[in-house]
Chain A
């Protein structure tokens, strides 16, 4: 023990005990993401102050970019919590934006969202059933599904964007706001609150964690692990669909590549947020905070004037570093 920490121990024995207990019970990684969010925000606020980082319109922009990432991240948190992974999410988001655009044109705004969600849940069901019944690891099943869904999305409207002209849809799922609060922000909060409650207050949420932590123990206690794994993958795909609805609402189009490149960003957001990449632990609030971190990083890199190629490199490096840091914390506990 160093002199400093010994001194801290004398000053704050209660706080230290509390910290030690928290560390033992849940690990401190849960809080890392919030510290990171504040630090990155402060850093960009200083070095990018002349580039408009702190302007209201830019902060709003970060929020708009974070929304679909956050919605996908909440779903992904459940897949990871169950010790599965869903690599098809970006392609599901894209296909769902097209499905929503198509259905809105013919049947109205409720149908738009419903069809998109059904597409996602259906793809998740196929992912889950193949992973569970054919016993193929979900990362392989969903990697294959990524290709299939991307191909379908490309075929659907011949690589053209499909415009959405339903004002209600656009107001509810993207451009609209309640008072000063963007509907995207509201949806993100709604998804976050639901996700948090499901994880902590519903039997299913606890069973997802149990299956992810120790599948054979969960099975020995009579939990239907197949059903849990399938529904966890359905959750991640359905959330990805809803992100597609939000992207379609914001941009007023459905397109084959909307959200397609968000996969790595989403996984990074979830893992930085304290969810264990290998199951058993998840944090919905952390996943949302992680999404804000990723959106800020994206935005900051653009404001720094990096070219697209350099942004890609910088983002890749940052993601690996961030995930490595949070994984190190996870291994300790």
Chain B
């Protein structure tokens, strides 16, 4: 379950990550709060995706700590992140094309049947997963022609919707979205924003990576700006203009109360 709205869900302190000679993250701090949407902004190569991958267990950071609910956690693997209630929608979506919608929603979260032996063997409870998939997508108002279609038969927007639906369904506490609406049309992008709002209203702490300033001002409460691996600004979205945000991203300005 999530904590009270506004309390700290996830804190990152002093996070460093280098790839050979390139310093992708340089002592980055970040905090996410329940029931709040935080934008993570920055130019290409600023370190946004690297930061998300460090939090979601894909990369092991070189230094720094990740705290969930105030407790230091070793997010050593994606599985560890997921079991801490951290769900991620990566830029690549991480959907499996030959599997169908239900299988993708429940991948590595499968329900089994047949008691303990069935669980040990991994006998899939397809009926239950199909029913729950319908509920999940219905609750999030995601419309997919058929749950049994394979992902490769879906449009880009539908694939994205399934990936976000999966994160929303399992992300009880923290959801990280790496450019979730990048390839979407206007209407579908609006749906994604609605989804983010409903996550926020359910008390989930959301991190949103985007290049679109309209989306930041529409749904985000705070914005963190990365530039060349460092946090250069952290601001309340209500207190700045889009032009201010762009200025932070391009490096024309730095600052904000917390930096």
Determine whether B137 belongs to the interface, using a CB cutoff of 8 Å to chain A: no
Question: Are A217 and B94 touching (Cβ within 8 A)?
Answer: yes
- Measured CB to CB, the nearest residue on chain B to A24 is B153
Chain A residues with Cβ below 8 Å from B92 are 216-217
Determine whether B97 belongs to the interface, using a CB cutoff of 8 Å to chain A: yes
Question: Are A221 and B153 touching (Cβ within 8 A)?
Answer: no
Identify the stretch in B120-128, B216-224, B250-258 within 8 Å (CB) of chain A at 4 or more residues.
B120-128
Given contacts A209-B96, A221-B107, 17 further A-B contacts (CB under 8 A): A24-B153, A25-B153, A203-B123, A206-B107, A206-B110, A209-B98, A213-B96, A214-B94, A214-B96, A214-B97, A217-B93, A218-B107, A221-B78, A222-B77, A222-B79, A280-B96, A280-B98
Contact of A25 among B57, B95, B124, B150 (CB under 8 A): B150
User: In whole angstroms, what is the CA distance A221 to B124 when docked?
Assistant: 18
Determine whether B259 belongs to the interface, using a CB cutoff of 8 Å to chain A: no
Chain A proximity mask over B128-143: 1 for CB below 8 Å, otherwise 0 = 0000000000000000
Chain B residues with Cβ below 8 Å from A214 are 94, 96-97
Chain B proximity mask over A29-61: 1 for CB below 8 Å, otherwise 0 = 000000000000000000000000000000000
Output the residue of B94, B96, B110, B126 with the most chain A CB within 10 A: B96
Interface hits, A182-228 → B, CB 8 Å: 201-204, 206-207, 209-210, 213-214, 216-224
Query: With A26-B150, A222-B77 given, is the CB distance from A217 to B96 under 8 Å?
Result: yes
Question: Are B78 and A220 touching (Cβ within 8 A)?
Answer: yes
Determine whether B99 belongs to the interface, using a CB cutoff of 8 Å to chain A: yes
> 26 interchain pairs (CB within 8 A)?
A25-B150, A201-B123, A202-B122, A202-B123, A203-B112, A203-B122, A206-B103, A209-B96, A209-B99, A213-B96, A214-B97, A216-B92, A217-B90, A217-B93, A217-B96, A218-B107, A220-B90, A220-B94, A221-B82, A221-B108, A222-B78, A222-B79, A223-B107, A280-B97, A280-B98, A281-B98
Determine whether B152 belongs to the interface, using a CB cutoff of 8 Å to chain A: yes
Determine whether A261 belongs to the interface, using a CB cutoff of 8 Å to chain B: no
Chain B residues with Cβ below 8 Å from A281 are 98
Contact of B97 among A21, A202, A213, A223 (CB under 8 A): A213
Chain B residues with Cβ below 8 Å from A202 are 121-124
Q: For the complex formed, measure the closest distance between the CB of A286 and the CB atoms of chain B, giving whole angstroms.
A: 14
- Measured CB to CB, the nearest residue on chain A to B77 is A222
SS class, residues of chain A in contact with chain B: helix
Determine whether B242 belongs to the interface, using a CB cutoff of 8 Å to chain A: no
User: In whole angstroms, what is the CA distance A214 to B103 when docked?
Assistant: 14
Top 5 closest pairs, chain A to chain B, by CB: A203-B122, A222-B79, A217-B94, A222-B78, A24-B153
Determine whether B58 belongs to the interface, using a CB cutoff of 8 Å to chain A: yes
Determine whether A177 belongs to the interface, using a CB cutoff of 8 Å to chain B: no
Question: Are B123 and A333 touching (Cβ within 8 A)?
Answer: no
Chain A proximity mask over B210-230: 1 for CB below 8 Å, otherwise 0 = 000000000000000000000
User: Which size class do B's interface residues fall under?
Assistant: 20 to 34
Determine whether B50 belongs to the interface, using a CB cutoff of 8 Å to chain A: no
Chain B residues with Cβ below 8 Å from A221 are 78, 82, 94, 107-108
User: In whole angstroms, what is the CA distance A207 to B152 when docked?
Assistant: 17
Chain A residues with Cβ below 8 Å from B108 are 207, 221-223
User: In whole angstroms, what is the CA distance A17 to B81 when docked?
Assistant: 42
- Measured CB to CB, the nearest residue on chain A to B119 is A203
Interface hits, A154-203 → B, CB 8 Å: 201-203
Chain A residues with Cβ below 8 Å from B149 are 25
- Measured CB to CB, the nearest residue on chain B to A200 is B124
Q: For the complex formed, measure the closest distance between the CB of B166 and the CB atoms of chain A, giving whole angstroms.
A: 9
User: In whole angstroms, what is the CA distance A207 to B112 when docked?
Assistant: 14
User: In whole angstroms, what is the CA distance A220 to B92 when docked?
Assistant: 10
User: In whole angstroms, what is the CA distance A139 to B92 when docked?
Assistant: 28
User: In whole angstroms, what is the CA distance A195 to B200 when docked?
Assistant: 44
User: In whole angstroms, what is the CA distance A24 to B82 when docked?
Assistant: 32
- Measured CB to CB, the nearest residue on chain B to A217 is B94
Question: Are B96 and A218 touching (Cβ within 8 A)?
Answer: yes
- Measured CB to CB, the nearest residue on chain B to A204 is B122
Determine whether B56 belongs to the interface, using a CB cutoff of 8 Å to chain A: yes
Q: For the complex formed, measure the closest distance between the CB of B102 and the CB atoms of chain A, giving whole angstroms.
A: 10
Chain A residues with Cβ below 8 Å from B123 are 201-203
Determine whether B172 belongs to the interface, using a CB cutoff of 8 Å to chain A: no
Chain A residues with Cβ below 8 Å from B110 are 203, 206
Q: For the complex formed, measure the closest distance between the CB of A22 and the CB atoms of chain B, giving whole angstroms.
A: 10
Q: For the complex formed, measure the closest distance between the CB of A39 and the CB atoms of chain B, giving whole angstroms.
A: 27
Q: For the complex formed, measure the closest distance between the CB of A19 and the CB atoms of chain B, giving whole angstroms.
A: 14
Determine whether B173 belongs to the interface, using a CB cutoff of 8 Å to chain A: no
Query: With A220-B78, A222-B82, A280-B98 given, is the CB distance from A210 to B58 under 8 Å?
Result: no
Chain A residues with Cβ below 8 Å from B58 are 219-220
User: In whole angstroms, what is the CA distance A127 to B95 when docked?
Assistant: 28
Chain B proximity mask over A5-36: 1 for CB below 8 Å, otherwise 0 = 00000000000000001001110000000000
Q: For the complex formed, measure the closest distance between the CB of A120 and the CB atoms of chain B, giving whole angstroms.
A: 21
Determine whether B88 belongs to the interface, using a CB cutoff of 8 Å to chain A: yes
User: In whole angstroms, what is the CA distance A168 to B10 when docked?
Assistant: 65
- Measured CB to CB, the nearest residue on chain B to A207 is B108
User: In whole angstroms, what is the CA distance A240 to B121 when docked?
Assistant: 23
Q: For the complex formed, measure the closest distance between the CB of B227 and the CB atoms of chain A, giving whole angstroms.
A: 26
Interface hits, A276-301 → B, CB 8 Å: 280-281
Chain B residues with Cβ below 8 Å from A219 are 58, 78
- Measured CB to CB, the nearest residue on chain B to A206 is B103
User: In whole angstroms, what is the CA distance A3 to B199 when docked?
Assistant: 53
Question: Are B78 and A201 touching (Cβ within 8 A)?
Answer: no
